[in-house]
Amino acid sequence: MKKYLLLTAIALLAFGCLQKKVYVHDPLKNELLAYTQKFEDTNDKFLVVGTYLNPIHQDIITQNNEENFILSIYPKDTKIDFTSFKINDDNNGTKISVLSDDDPLLKLTTFKMPWGMYLKISAPQKQSDTLKLSFERLDETSHHLQVSLSFQKIAKSLYWNSKSPNK
């Protein structure tokens, strides 16, 4: 019986001393979720997660007053019509670049899909409260899928006020 108790005590001590994983709270990544949208087509197993970077990371990524987005697209081999990208139905000045899996820009996003493709979209600044990013996914058949994501330039959650305006 003593051996059993001694063995149990040693096992508990060993498990108690194992290194615990430390989670670091990053408030910027949490705030960025307000600027992240998803498009999903479950029939074709197609997923797009887009993040509007300007409100949170404008000091890092904004150049020449551009609107900047990161798109994660699954599956990785999806064929995209790069000429179809539009911001608020305008494709003038829109630039698209494919990012590598280890691109430092991806550290700014909240959602990562290592099995997906990443794109950076830049467009001239738009004078609008909302930004609609749209593009087409190509298919081997004549079936083209129109993808549309809508972003608030200022997240709705930031407009919330606990006090009544009349008081």
Q: What would the pLDDT profile of 66-111 be if each residue is shown by its tens digit? A: 889 999 999 888 899 999 999 999 989 899 999 988 888 887 777 7
**What pLDDT shows up at residue 10?**
74
Residue 146 has which token pair? 């129109």
| CATH classification code of 27-154 | 2.60.40
Give bridge partners of residue 46 from the DSSP assignment.
41
Q: Which residue has the higher pLDDT, 4 or 101?
A: 101
**What pLDDT shows up at residue 162?**
42
Q: What would the pLDDT profile of 22-66 be if each residue is shown by its tens digit? A: 555 566 667 777 888 999 988 888 899 999 888 777 766 666 788
Question: Residue 14: is its pLDDT beyond 60?
Answer: yes
pTM recorded for the entire structure: 0.73
Q: What would the pLDDT profile of 106-155 be if each residue is shown by its tens digit? A: 877 777 777 889 999 999 988 899 999 999 998 776 678 899 999 988 76
Q: DSSP secondary-structure letter at 44?
A: T
Query: Which residue type does 40 have?
Result: E
Q: What are the boundaries of each domain within the chain?
A: 27-154
**What pLDDT shows up at residue 97?**
93
Burial (CB count <10 Å: 0-12, 13-18, 19+), residue 119: buried
Return the closest-CA partner of residue 65 out of 107, 111, 123: 123
**What pLDDT shows up at residue 50?**
92
**What pLDDT shows up at residue 156?**
57
Give bridge partners of residue 67 from the DSSP assignment.
123
